[in-house]
A and B are shown apart, each in its own frame.
Chain A
Amino acid sequence: MPRNPGQKMGFLHKLLPWRRGEVIPFTEIFGRFQSILQKNTTAMEIIGDMGAKLGGEFIFDKKYLRDCVRQVSEVVRSSAYDLNFITANNYLEVYEVLENLSTELETELAGKIVVHQRQNIYRLEDIGDNMDDAVGLKAYNLSRLARLAGVRVPAGFVVSIAGFRGYLAYNNLFQKIETLIEDGAAGRRSLESASQAIRLAILGGDIQPGLRREILSAAEGICAGNPERCYFSVRSSALGEDGDLSFAGVHDSFLNVPFRELLSSYKKVLASLFSPTSLEYRQGKRLLPLEMAMPVLYQVMVNSRSSGVVFTLDPVDPTRQECLISASWGLGRMVVEDQGMVDTYRVSRQAPHVLLEQRIGHKASMLAPLEAGPPREVAAPAQDQPCLNPGQAAELADLALTLERFFKRPLDIEWSLDQEDVLWLLQARSLGVQSGGRARSNQLKGLLADHRVLLAERGVIAYRGIAAGPVALVEEGDDLGLVPAGAVVVARYSSPWLAKAIPRASAVLTDVGSTTGHLATVAREFRVPAIVDMGEATKVLKPGQEVTVDAERNLVYQGRIEELLHNQLLEATAFETTYEFQLLRRLLRRISPLTLTDPDSPEFTARRCQTLHDVIRFVHEKAVQALVDVGKAPWNLQRRGGKRLKSSLPLDLVLIDVGGGLAPEVQGKSQVTPEQVVSAPMLALWRGLTWPQAWSTEPIPVDFKGLMASLTRMRPAQLDGAATGMNLAVVGSNYLNMSLRVGYHFTVVDSYLGPMPNYNYIYFRFMGGVTDITRRSRRAALLSAILEESSFKVESKGDVVVARVKKMSQERTEELLVLLGRLIGFARQLDVLMKDDAAIGLFFEQFMGQQQAKQGELSSHGE
């Protein structure tokens, strides 16, 4: 069928919606603006949905991931198109950013690794979430473990993959290595000779000057002015392909490296990436040469008095409830490499970790700590004395089991006790333990039948796993520091203040909550089994009661069921190690974090968008700005009918009337007064916004007397307007759509208010804020609590709070709009003032108290 040329023109016109000089009717702009809001909400919902899949309770496949990625990219792209439509193609570079993100996402979906971070060096404490690609799994895991309560990891830094690639590039080694490997694989050279040639080339290279400086200054920072007595371990942190430390032992590592050898050690570790063993291993796994990458981990040496290894289970008989410790004096390598006599201890896995058995070896020699050069064997002191006392053995078991809870599998852990008896974690890797298979599971079933189930399938699993411990019932305001490590934390709400307890908890249960909330996110981050929304966990479970939480079957048992805990450790694979799960995590890195937070910063540009969430945020901000600009420019004011609202509030608000929202006398004027506003929902919201307390910046006394006193004292005019931004309200006689930016927050209120309850609704959306996630989620928790208390239906995902009501009477809808007005002013101060979790309760009381006082005041006016 021949194409209709007219149709083609229409298509072109769609591509180029705006031509210079053409005035787009406001209704069209506003329609696009609403479409942007809607699309952004859809996109955030998809992102929240993907995030919830990290909890392990869902089975999802690659198709799901592909569909999600395509949907969310499509929606964001379409939203960007709308933005360009209303801004005369002002932000075309957004398309480029989206194109790059799409390419990266598609590359991930195609199974290739994209490394995003460009920095050469990361200190362990600076390694962020999901940076394992850049720094290697060993360093990444250590950085995660260092955040667990009671885990000490020696200070250190990693030379990232970017540093490695820089080294190869600086020395022109890419091509050379590739050719040599190909020759080896094709049999033109022996593997040994290829390996040797590569290693020589690497050892003969120069470290690029930038990296050289960075390594030395990072090491200086750690040694704090004492480089002579400061030694490092230098090891590979190479990427494993299955989430395990599978290269253990394949690459070289160096101990007691003095300052002057930091640089040469780097090259030596790199060279070991191409040892014959390593090459063979990689060829066996069909890893391409270019995928070889070697992050190198530097850590300060512990001045160890004793050191060794702890197994969280006896690999020979995993059914025994025991940790197995080996220890010797000095550096631990004698234990690791199984040389010489050592002490062995058996310690109960159950707190308080009683020492069950010890065999003290005759430790004739030891590796001397803190000496330059390769560790040297010297005569040991106290050759027949135990290296550990029962207390230290218990401490060690406690550390080991903390790590095991995190990894959810049996572990082989290297540790060191320094001269001051401080315990350090050096390394952790999976411990191979033979699984009993299905017979065990039938046996287990019989056993479980004998245990009392306290709660069955009551809530939603936020993070899968099995854990046991004493119940700690916590309430807001409790000192979470008092919650014993390993406790099953039980709380009424999944409030953000609980997040602090998670790293120490063995499991978390809440009566109310969702899998997309902040608490669930933190539980996933720390891999703590969590069930939310259980209804009455706080009623059923008693403080101190020992329970076993099965966050796989959604059951809580009375008592501690070791066999069940055990069974989880022996199961074939934890869901975290599946390919799909890892892929999801990788994809989310380009999708979900919000890095673009401050719209007033010069960095707030399309090109700085690193994730789809950033783009969503950017488009939103610019769309609001565009709408406001339309109203602001004087010529636009006349042509399109926007009018600035004159008021004492620190809000620069432009009103656009779409029919019956403003009094007729304002025709042709560029400013209106609040008295000239006749839009019913706008009037109600304005009542709330102008309510005296709404813009308070002072802490407000909560007692009634003080409240009344402050009511008479505070006037809006006194308040500072520095933190407010561009604002726009589209008004009709019964309609309001207001976009406010107050501080860093975006607020959208969309409402219809009239005599017919069926048509009435309010949509309220609040998002954004400072970068600090804790404060943001405290604020989200507070807003949600207030809104829920006031009969809104509230959804909170990440830093977005969406509240809705509909089909309410005119009076009730009006009341709620007044409340929202107050809440908007109130929320402005929250980021600054919500310094701790206690503030949530305090501000809730304060706001609701004011609400009651206000209702009292209104009814007395009515009399």
Chain B
Amino acid sequence: MGNNLSICLLDDEPIVGDRLRPELENDGYEVEVFTDSASAMQRVEQRCFDIVITDLKMEGADGMAFLELVRERCPGSQVIVITGYATIETAREAFVKGAYDFIAKPFRIGEIREAVKKARKKLGKKTVQ
């Protein structure tokens, strides 16, 4: 079906990964879930993902730093930012740092799937690996 793209999901609230992973896997994506930014960063040093979904405000390193790392290491990755502290400022900063889409928590599962679909279209057929 040609949609075996890889997704990296980082959110320090486990519920987000718990509920999103089966949804995205059902759509045929390969999903890796992280709840702390350190291990997500470590993973991104090892490999790139087609799509990165990340929270912005988390304990330890924040999502913005992770976003920067992804932009630097994997310029081809499409980044979708999800955050509970959705202000215009954070949104602007995320976009400036190269986020592709921005979704405020709490969100409908449909919204994320829609954003992922759009990101996939943008990627075309190519994969970043």
- Which residue numbers of A lie inside 8 Å of B, CB to CB? 53, 57-64, 67, 438, 441-442, 445, 457, 461, 552, 554, 571-573, 575, 578-580
A715 CB → nearest B CB, Å: 55
Residues B106 and A53 in contact, CB atoms below 8 Å apart: yes
Q: Are B20 and A59 in contact (CB under 8 A)?
A: yes
Q: Are A571 and B15 in contact (CB under 8 A)?
A: no
> CB-CB < 8 A to A554: which residues of B?
110
A572 x B22 contact (CB < 8 A): yes
When the two chains form their complex, are residues A57 and B13 in contact, meaning their CB atoms are under 8 A apart? no
B72 interface residue per 8 A CB criterion: no
In the complex, per-residue mask of B80-113: 1 if CB is within 8 Å of any chain A CB, else 0? 0000100000000000000000000111111010
Contact in complex: B106, A62 (CB < 8 Å) = no
Contacts of B22 in A (CB 8 A): 571-572
Residue among B18, B28, B106, B109 making CB contact with A578, cutoff 8 Å? B18
Q: In the complex, which residues of chain A have a beta carbon less than 8 angstroms from the beta carbon of B15?
A: 59-62, 578-580
B residues bordering A, Cβ < 8 Å? Answer: 1, 11, 13, 15-16, 18-20, 22-23, 25-26, 28, 84, 105-110, 112
Contact flag A64-B105 (CB < 8 Å), given A59-B19, A573-B18: yes
A242 to B15, CA, bound (A): 14
| Residue in contact with B109 in the complex, picked from A59, A64, A579, CB distance below 8 Å | A59
One of B16, B25, B84 near A441 (C-beta < 8 A):
B25
Instruction: Given A63-B84, A441-B25, check contact A457 B110 (CB 8 Å).
Output: yes
Q: Across the interface, which residues of A come within 8 angstroms of B25, CB to CB?
A: 438, 441
> How long is the Cα–Cα vector from A579 to B13 in the complex, in angstroms?
11
Contact A59 B16 (CB under 8 A): yes
Chain A residues positioned under 8 Å from B18 (CB to CB): 573, 578
Out of A57, A63, A438, A441, which one reaches B105, CB within 8 Å?
A63
Q: Complex: how many Å from CA A441 to CA B29?
A: 11
Q: How far apart are the CA atoms of A441 and B4 in the complex, in Å? A: 13
User: Complex Cα distance A59/B108, Å?
Assistant: 6
B105 and A61 within 8 A (CB): yes
The 3 closest A-B pairs by CB, nearest first: A60-B106, A61-B13, A63-B84
User: What chain B residues lie within 8 Å of A578 (beta carbons)?
Assistant: 15, 18-19
Set of chain B residues within 8 Å of A62, measured between Cβ atoms:
13, 15
A-B contact pairs, 16 of them (CB 8 A): A58-B107, A58-B108, A58-B109, A59-B15, A59-B106, A59-B107, A60-B105, A61-B16, A61-B105, A61-B106, A63-B105, A64-B105, A552-B109, A578-B15, A578-B19, A580-B15
Q: Apart from A58-B108, A59-B107, A60-B15, what 5 extra A-B contacts exist at CB < 8 Å?
A: A59-B16, A62-B13, A63-B84, A441-B25, A575-B19
CA distance A571 to B108 in the complex (A): 19
Residues of B within 8 A of A57 (CB): 108-110
Chain B positions within 8 Å of A58 at CB level:
106-109
Q: How far is it, in angstroms, between the C-alpha of A64 and the C-alpha of B107 when the chains are bound?
A: 11
Which residues of the partner chain B approach A53 to less than 8 Å between Cβ atoms? Answer: 106
Shortest distance between the CB of A787 and any CB in chain B (Å): 28
Query: From residue B44, how far is it (CB to closest CB) to chain A in Å?
Result: 23
Q: Considering the chains assembled together, what is the distance between the CA atoms of A603 and B82 in angstroms?
A: 46
In the complex formed, the residue of A with least CB distance to B13 is A61
B26 CB contacts on chain A under 8 angstroms: 441, 445
| Residue with the highest number of chain A CB atoms closer than 10 Å, among B84, B106, B109 | B106
Whether A445 touches B84, Cβ cut-off 8 Å, given contacts A59-B19, A554-B110, is: no
CA distance A554 to B110 in the complex (A): 9
A579 to B15, CA, bound (A): 8
B15 to chain A, nearest CB (A): 5
- Bound form: Cα–Cα A573–B20 in Å: 12
Query: How distant is the Cα of A441 from the Cα of B106 in the complex, in angstroms?
Result: 26
Contact present for A64 and B84 (CB under 8 Å): yes
Smallest beta-carbon distance B86→chain A, Å: 11
A442 to B84, CA, bound (A): 33
Partner pick for B28 among A64, A67, A442, A571, CB 8 A cutoff:
A442
| Contact A61–B108 (Cβ < 8 Å) | no
Closest A residue, CB atoms, query B4: A442
Task: Specify which chain B residues have a CB less than 8 angstroms from the CB of A573 in the assembled complex.
Answer: 18
Q: In angstroms, how far is the closest chain A Cβ from the Cβ of B109?
A: 6
- B125 CB to closest chain A CB, in angstroms? 19
Question: CA–CA, A654 to B25, complex, Å?
Answer: 64
- Which chain B residues border A457 with CB–CB below 8 Å? 110
Q: A64-B106, A580-B15 are in contact. Are A445 and B28 (CB under 8 A)?
A: yes
Which residues of B lie under 8 Å from residue A445 when comparing CB positions? 1, 26, 28
Instruction: Return B118 CB to nearest CB of chain A, in Å.
Output: 14
- For the complex, what is the distance from the CA of A775 to the CA of B13, rounded to whole Å? 41
CB nearest neighbor in B for A573: B18
What is the chain A residue whose CB lies nearest that of B84? A63
Q: How far is the CA of A557 from the CA of B112 in the complex (A)?
A: 23
In the bound assembly, the distance between CA atoms of A64 and B106 in angstroms comes to 7
CA distance A593 to B96 in the complex (A): 45
Find the B residue at minimum CB distance from A64.
B106
Nearest CB in chain B: distance from A325 CB, A: 31
* Nearest residue, chain A, Cβ from B11: A61
- Inter-chain CA distance A64–B18, complex, in Å, is 16
Query: In the bound complex, what is the Cα–Cα distance between A461 and B45 (angstroms)?
Result: 39
Closest Cβ–Cβ distance, residue B13 to chain A (whole Å): 4
- Distance, CA A760 to CA B106, complexed state (A): 36
Of A57, A59, A457, chain B has the most CB atoms within 10 Å of the CB of A59
Query: Closest Cβ of chain B: how far from A590's Cβ, in Å?
Result: 20
Collect the chain A residues with CB atoms within 8 Å of residue B11's CB.
61
Q: Knowing A441-B25, A578-B19 touch, does A61 contact B110 (C-beta < 8 A)?
A: no
Contact A67 B84 (CB under 8 A): yes
Set of chain B residues within 8 Å of A575, measured between Cβ atoms: 19
Docked pose: A578 CA to B19 CA in angstroms:
9
Contact partners of A64 in chain B: CB under 8 A? 84, 105-106
How far is it, in angstroms, between the C-alpha of A130 and the C-alpha of B79 when the chains are bound?
40
Complex alpha-carbon distance, A575 and B109, angstroms:
12
Expressed in whole angstroms, the Cα–Cα distance for A457 and B113 within the complex equals 12
Instruction: List chain B residues, Cβ under 8 A from A441.
Output: 25-26
Shortest distance from the beta carbon of B28 to any chain A beta carbon, whole Å: 7
Please give me the residue from chain A that is nearest to B1 by CB atom: A445
Least CB distance, A554 to chain B, in whole angstroms: 7
Q: How far in angstroms is the closest Cβ of chain B from A403?
A: 24
Chain A residue at minimal CB-CB distance from B106:
A60
Distance (whole angstroms) from the CB of A317 to the closest CB of chain B: 23
* Chain A residues with CB under 8 A of B1: 445
Docked pose: A353 CA to B28 CA in angstroms: 34
A572 to B21, CA, bound (A): 11
CB distance from A85 to the nearest CB of B (A): 32
Cα A59 to Cα B84 with chains together (Å): 11
Whole-angstrom distance between the alpha carbons of A571 and B11 in the complex?
A: 22
Chain A residue at minimal CB-CB distance from B83: A63
Chain A residues within an 8 Å CB radius of B105: 59-61, 63-64
B107 CB to closest chain A CB, in angstroms? 6
Q: Please state if B109 and A61 are interface contacts (CB–CB under 8 Å).
A: no
Q: How far is the CA of A572 from the CA of B20 in the complex (A)?
A: 12
Q: Which residue of B lies closest to A59 (CB)?
A: B19
- The answer for the CA separation of A438 and B84 in the assembled complex, in Å, is 30
In this complex, which of A53, A63, A575 has the most chain B Cβ atoms within 10 angstroms of its Cβ? A63
Residues of B within 8 A of A59 (CB): 15-16, 19-20, 105-109, 112
Q: Residue on A with the closest CB to B25?
A: A438
Residue of A nearest to B19 (CB): A59
The distance from the CB of B17 to the nearest CB of chain A, in whole angstroms, is: 10
Measured CA separation A571–B20 after assembly (Å): 13
Distance to closest chain A CB from B112 (angstroms): 8
Q: Which residues of B contact A571 (CB under 8 A)?
A: 22
Residues of B within 8 A of A60 (CB): 15, 105-106
Alpha-carbon gap, A58 to B16, bound state (A): 10
Flag if A61 contacts B28 (CB, 8 Å): no
Residue of A67, A572, A578, A580 ringed by the most chain B CB atoms within 10 A: A580
Residue of B nearest to A464 (CB): B109
Among residues of A, the one whose C-beta sits closest to the C-beta of B21 is A572
User: A789–B62 Cα gap in the complex (Å)?
Assistant: 51
Rounded to whole Å, the gap between the CB of B51 and the closest CB of chain A is 17
Kindly report which residue of chain A lies nearest to residue B26, judged by CB atoms: A441
B108 near A63 with CB under 8 A, answer no
